[in-house]
């Protein structure tokens, strides 16, 4: 049996697995692994090892990297929209405050 993966690697794997739009059966098949073995790993019946993670990322690493780029791009766009909304809101409140003072 290989070396156990560290906690950070395990956490990243679990997050990345959730990003994939596939069932465990599909993930296992693409990793050329029996579904029950894959389930044993992800359900902590077998320890997740560095070799298991290398195998997972060899198959899904590029796809996950593209998803990460897309998420980062969407977050940047969302931040820009929120900043614009904040400045618009500030302008509106400024106008309303000035109007209230004049009335």
- The Cα–Cα gap between 70 and 65 comes to 9
Do residues 71 and 65 touch, judged by C-beta distance below 8 A?
Answer: no
Q: Is 60 exceeded by the pLDDT of residue 102? A: no
Q: How many CB atoms lie within 10 A of CB 53?
A: 19
Report H helices in the chain.
7-19, 24-30, 35-42, 50-102
Question: What is the per-residue pLDDT for 97?
Answer: 75
pLDDT digits over 50-59, tens only? Answer: 999 999 999 9
Tens of pLDDT, residue by residue over 81-101, are 888 888 887 777 777 777 655
């Amino acid at each position: 049996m290989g070396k156990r993966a560290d906690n950070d690697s395990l956490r990243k794997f679990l997050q990345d697995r959730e990003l994939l739009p596939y069932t465990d059966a599909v993930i296992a098949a693409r990793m050329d692994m029996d579904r029950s073995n894959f389930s044993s790993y992800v359900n902590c019946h077998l320890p997740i090892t560095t070799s298991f993670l290398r195998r997972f990322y060899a198959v899904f690493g590029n796809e996950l990297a593209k998803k990460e780029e897309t998420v980062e791009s969407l977050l940047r766009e969302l931040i820009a929209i929120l900043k614009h909304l904040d400045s618009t809101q500030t302008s509106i409140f400024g106008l309303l405050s000035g109007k209230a003072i004049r009335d």
